Amino acid sequence: MSNITAIIVDDEQDSRESLQNYIGKYCPQISLLATCEDIHEAKAAILKKAPDLVFLDIEMPRGNAFDLLESWGEINFEIIFVTAFSQYAIQAFNLSAAHYLLKPVDIEELEKAVDSVAQRIMQKDKISHAQILIDNMSVITSQNRKLVLPLMEGFDVVKMAEIMYCEAQDNFTCFYFKNGKKSLICRNLKFYESALSEFGFCRIHRSYIVNLEYVTRYIKGKGGTIVLENGTELIVSSTKKTELLRRIKSGS
């Protein structure tokens, strides 16, 4: 039985029809209320029909998805972005835990995104991942960007500047924060290596990713050791040494 109301926003008729067909065939929990071809139609439809979910194309000729969202105020609906965006933007999606589908839409990825949205709605998750995404794409310095960390009972939203380093613990990642707290997250370290590498973080070992802002000393050795601001010492693997020293010296 359908229990999630939705709207599709995409300027390309073929894309709208394709997604509509996929939803009808593979997502029985979705009740589609309307399809829109630009952000003006979308705004009117969202105001009138108050959907639970909007499938939102990013690049459209008469205003893009972020033009719509930035003019909205409080975003009180779930969003699945549909995009052919660059890897940089996809990193922003991952940091914000915002859902996205790459064109052409993959059925399995569609089902996964819809299931995740359904879970958020059921759990009454009030975090606006779209708003965090907008904030992340507008801030000037990487350390002011925010990261959404999924927990068993919901999400934590943290500034990157608060993270000192991350440690692999089997298929989990433990985050260590400047204030001394730590948090175990149900994602592996490789995911965060990809998500954080452009924002001042460096993989120094198979077990560690470090925020370079907090590195105060490097001690020579085969790979060497780094010392963080709080006195923590972390081993550097020999294969990661050259890249670490390059980034420290270049300040990146």
Greatest CA separation for the chain: 65
Q: What is the pLDDT of residue 242?
A: 93
* 4-135 to CATH, choices 3.20.20.70, 3.40.50.720, 2.60.120.10, 3.40.50.2300: 3.40.50.2300
Residues 187-204 have pLDDT tens digits of 899 989 988 887 889 999
Do 34 and 53 touch, CB atoms closer than 8 A?
A: no
168: Cβ contacts below 8 Å, ≥ 6 apart: 174, 188, 189, 206, 207, 208
pLDDT score of 136? 58
Mean pLDDT value across the chain: 84
Q: Write out the H or E segment, with its range, that includes residue 190.
A: helix 189-196
Pinpoint the residues of the chain covered by CATH 2.40.50.1020: 139-250
pLDDT in tens, 34-63: 999 988 899 999 999 999 999 988 877 777
pLDDT in tens, the chain (252 residues): 458 999 999 998 999 999 999 999 999 999 999 999 988 899 999 999 999 999 988 877 777 777 777 777 777 888 888 887 655 456 666 656 677 888 889 999 999 999 988 887 776 655 566 666 666 555 445 556 778 888 777 778 888 889 999 999 989 999 999 999 999 998 899 989 988 887 889 999 999 999 999 999 999 989 999 999 999 999 999 999 999 999 888 766
Could you give the 3-state DSSP secondary structure of residue 35?
A: strand
Comma-separated ranges of CATH 3.40.50.2300 domains in the chain = 4-135
> What fold, for 139-250?
OB fold (Dihydrolipoamide Acetyltransferase, E2P) (2.40.50)
Sign of CA dihedral 230, 233, 235, 241: positive
Helix or strand run (H / E) with residue 96: helix 87-96
Q: Which two tokens stand for residue 37?
A: 């071809």
